[in-house]
Amino acid sequence: MSSTELAKVNKAPVPALQMSEDDLIKVLQDSVYPGAQVNSIKMVINVCRAAGKDPLKKPYHIVPMPVATGEKDRNGWDIKKMRDVIMPGINDYRTDAARTGQHAGSSEPEFGPDVTETLDGVSITYPLWCRVAVKRRMPSGEIVEFTAKELWKENYASKSKESSAPNAMWKKRPYAQLAKCAEAQALRKGFPEVGSQPTADEMEGKEIDVTEEATALQKTEYYSDDEFLTNKPAWKKTVDNGKDPGRFINFIESKGKLFSEKQKAEIAGWQAVDKSVEVLPPVDDGWVAELEANEPGAQG
């Protein structure tokens, strides 16, 4: 199926979306999303309209998740609020891959050796890893495999932030949950048009920290050439004295404005002390101390 034909399929009228919104909400609330809030169901309907999906087939899940607010309580713990997040299910990825007309099947999940371990007092046996291959028929007719290998320890969800024990779903279905994670990754590799958002299956029981992403999105101001030249002596001295350029860039951007790609490239070249350049004292050594305190192995 060509991309034009795929677009026509995605834009074909969806009968459920022809219903009045009130009627559709009632149907979804009574069957597909029992107990869900009306605003969350409206979000699902809007996403389905944009994607040309049938909400009655539940392509998207309403997942209540604790989301970081960026604030701390009196004990220094992150304050989180529960929020309904709309996420695609693994079947949505499968549907989009099938709609391309180029999906040539997927392999059965292949699991690594079993591991039995006690995590925070809970004994569990899980596969070390899982591998899934997704096949795509290329325009030339060649069938290409896209393989994803996922580790259980890197994917499982704990029952709380203070515990390393798996949550109920990952304890009950350690193999099936990991298989879904591996398949979703393989589908993203083989069919990047399905999207990059994690599936609800992958995010089962996990948390979302949107504060860092939101902060990055809010930052659109860059250092001007004059500002860069003004700060360059102090910045260069810090990097010349052994600070990793990449970590230095991330740290400065987290505290101030963004660097341009040209400025980043120049900082990346500050690897060794150039004795021919006069190094001036830092304008503000407060951020230098904070950067040093955040270095791996720094003593508190």
Could you list the pLDDT tens digit for every one of the 300 residues in the chain?
444 455 455 556 889 999 999 999 999 999 999 989 999 999 999 989 888 899 999 999 998 877 777 777 777 777 777 888 889 999 999 999 998 999 999 999 999 999 999 999 999 999 999 999 999 999 999 999 999 999 999 999 998 878 899 999 999 999 999 999 999 999 999 998 887 888 888 887 776 654 444 444 344 577 888 888 999 988 888 888 777 777 778 778 766 777 887 888 888 888 544 444 443 444 444 555 555 555 444 444
The answer to whether residues 225 and 185 belong to one domain is no
Domain count, the chain: 2
The answer to whether residues 91 and 180 belong to one domain is yes
The answer to whether residues 192 and 235 belong to one domain is no
- The phi, psi pair for 226, rounded to 5°, reads -65, -45
Boundary-marking domain end, from 206, 236, 268? 206
- The phi, psi pair for 76, rounded to 5°, reads 90, 5
Alpha helices in the chain (DSSP H): 3-11, 21-27, 38-51, 90-99, 152-155, 168-172, 174-190, 211-218, 225-240, 245-255, 261-268, 286-293
**Does a structural domain hold residue 77?**
no
Q: Looking at residue 275, what is its pLDDT?
A: 41
DSSP string, 12-48: S--GGGGS-HHHHHHHIIIIISTT--HHHHHHHHHHH
* Residue in 250, 254, 221, 249 with CA at minimum distance from that of residue 235: 249
Per-residue pLDDT of 62-88, as tens digits, reads: 988 777 777 777 777 777 778 888 899
The answer to whether residues 201 and 238 belong to one domain is no
Q: Looking at residue 148, what is its pLDDT?
A: 95
DSSP string, 182-216: HHHHHHHHH-GGG-SSPPTTTTTT--B--HHHHHH
Boundary-marking domain end, from 176, 206, 236? 206
**Does a structural domain hold residue 127?**
yes
Domain of 202 in residue numbering reads as 87-206
Distances (CA, A) of 134 to 102, 116, 187, 201: 11, 29, 6, 18
Q: Looking at residue 259, what is its pLDDT?
A: 82
**Does a structural domain hold residue 157?**
yes
Per-residue pLDDT of 210-229, as tens digits, reads: 444 444 434 457 788 888 89
The answer to whether residues 166 and 262 belong to one domain is no
SS3 67: strand
Structure tokens at 77: 């713990």
* Residue in 118, 131, 124, 43 with CA at minimum distance from that of residue 87: 43
Boundary-marking domain end, from 206, 235, 263? 206
The answer to whether residues 151 and 259 belong to one domain is no
The answer to whether residues 225 and 128 belong to one domain is no
Q: Looking at residue 292, what is its pLDDT?
A: 52
SS3 9: helix
**Does a structural domain hold residue 57?**
no
The answer to whether residues 103 and 155 belong to one domain is yes
**Does a structural domain hold residue 175?**
yes
The answer to whether residues 168 and 238 belong to one domain is no
**Does a structural domain hold residue 252?**
yes
Structure tokens at 52: 């040309």
**Does a structural domain hold residue 211?**
no
Percent of the chain with pLDDT over 70: 80
The answer to whether residues 128 and 198 belong to one domain is yes
The answer to whether residues 201 and 252 belong to one domain is no
Neighbour tally for 96: CB within 10 Å: 21
Q: Whole-angstrom Cα distance, residue 140 to residue 102?
A: 11
The answer to whether residues 127 and 226 belong to one domain is no
Helix (H) / strand (E) element for 123: namely strand 122-127
**Does a structural domain hold residue 2?**
no
